[in-house]
Structure 1
Amino acid sequence: MKKQYVTYCRVSTREQSLGLDAQMRDIEHYLASHDHEVLGHFSDKQSGADDDRPEFQKALRLVRKTGAELLVSKLDRLSRDLAMIAKLMKEKDVAFRIASMPGADSMMIGIYAVLAQKEREMISERTKSALAAAKRRGTKLGGYREGALEKANALRTKVADKQAEKFAKIIMPLKQQGMTLTGIAERLNEMGIVTVRGGAWEAKAVSRVLDRLSGAMIRTLVPSL
């Protein structure tokens, strides 16, 4: 019996339509390895923070009516709201599948959702703090000030350290289990976790994260570095 799916894509108002093409490639790649029937396809051009997206709601209604699985490319295409994802996971009439995380169970999806939301909150807090501090100093945003390059480099280092710490929550337990760098990279890709630049993981990328974690520890002990 063919597995029934309702597919859904989403791009924000700031994203290009090419984003829809990339999502469809992920979905089609997943479907190619399954005996399937697509009951409907829906897409929105709207923020993932808004769960009242019209096409998204249509997709959910069709899923509830037919018992089909909702298939999306990546978890954030479904929603950027952790509470919304948790609600869908608990709903008996709604089952969803992440094309880029074909082997992910509910626990993996939950962990990834928590990490993704935490990262968004940290970015928002850093941005607000930086703007507030600049305003207090009387800095003209967008203008050049002496030492601006050094400050920008320091900020990038701090942000990169924070990103490495986020990935460490998954990478370090795998490393402690004796997995190779290549094995860790493959596991991250299976979970649908992308690198900072949005790409796939390789052994070198995992190694860079581990190196940055070591560097961050040194910078904590010796702040002048």
Structure 2
Amino acid sequence: MQRYVIYKRVSTVDQGKSGLGLEAQSRDIAIYLDTYSPEPFEVVGEYVDVLSGKNDDRPELIKAIDQAKRDKATLLVAKLDRLSRKVSFISHLIDDPKLALRVASMPHADKFQLHIYAALAEQEREFISQRTKAALRQAKERGQKLGGLRDKTMKRNIAIQEQAQKRASNLESIVVPLRDRGDSLRDIAAALNKAGIKTARGAEWQAPQVKRVLDRLAS
């Protein structure tokens, strides 16, 4: 019999009390169990945390993981971001050989695909954060005299380098495992393109671009 330990998370106390966030997660999990789960199945545990996705100190998640391992059950969540918003944290769970994990909203996703989805979500959040900061800076500088061209160029170049390094870090959980298993630069580029991941300029990946990412990670 297939066993499941269900984990849910809402970000605020109000969501936890109202049940609005929990209701949507319960619906998605029910769809997965009814449509995609092997039968018969049994839910042997259910845990809920009420805290931000940025906080990885989650007592109920720890309990859920412990029970899933102890009972040889699958940890089931509605969405990947219910576990965390950090690629490193999610990767740690995905790579745990003693933990089986399924995501209701991605019923057919394997471990490699979950890595990719987590990395893409983190990239999107980082871009939104940077866009917001840029808008705030522009609003603050309106009506003020900007620095010289050289100063602005230097700041822009530094920002570009920082963005490139962050993007390389976001791709680390994808490209490094592929490299370590012996894939060529061309193979890694093909995997990124197949997954729908674009370069910073919105183009498809080529071997030299993959090499630059790996070089940044090694620096």
Question: 1:7: which partner in 2?
Answer: 6
Residue 174 of structure 1: CA displacement?
8.4
Taking structure 1 as reference, are residues 84 and 25 closer, same or farther at Cα in structure 2, changes over 3 Å only? same
Where in structure 1 are there 5+ consecutive unaligned residues? 140-169, 176-212, 214-225
Question: 1:30: which partner in 2?
Answer: 32
Where 1:92 maps in the other structure, the secondary structure is: coil
Question: 1:86: which partner in 2?
Answer: 91
Where 1:100 maps in the other structure, the secondary structure is: coil
The answer on 1:47 being equivalent to 2:52 is yes
Deviations 1:116-146 (A, max 9, x none): 000000011111111122112269xxxxxxx
Question: 2:119: which partner in 1?
Answer: 114
The answer on 1:104 being equivalent to 2:103 is no
Q: Normalising by structure 1, what TM-score?
A: 0.59
Where 2:107 maps in the other structure, the secondary structure is: coil
Where 2:65 maps in the other structure, the secondary structure is: helix
Question: 2:68: which partner in 1?
Answer: 63
Taking structure 1 as reference, are residues 173 and 86 closer, same or farther at Cα in structure 2, changes over 3 Å only? closer
Distance 1:174 1:90 in 2: 20
Taking structure 1 as reference, are residues 18 and 135 closer, same or farther at Cα in structure 2, changes over 3 Å only? same
Where 1:91 maps in the other structure, the secondary structure is: coil
Identity of aligned residues (%): 49
Q: Normalising by structure 2, what TM-score?
A: 0.60
Distance 1:96 1:54 in 2: 18
Amino acid at match of 2:3: Q
Where in structure 2 are there 5+ consecutive unaligned residues? 145-190, 197-201, 203-219
Runs of 4+ in 1 over 3 A off after TM superposition: 172-175
Amino acid at match of 2:31: H
- Give the conservation status (yes or no) of the 8 Å contact 1:63–1:93: no
Residue 21 of structure 1: CA displacement?
0.4
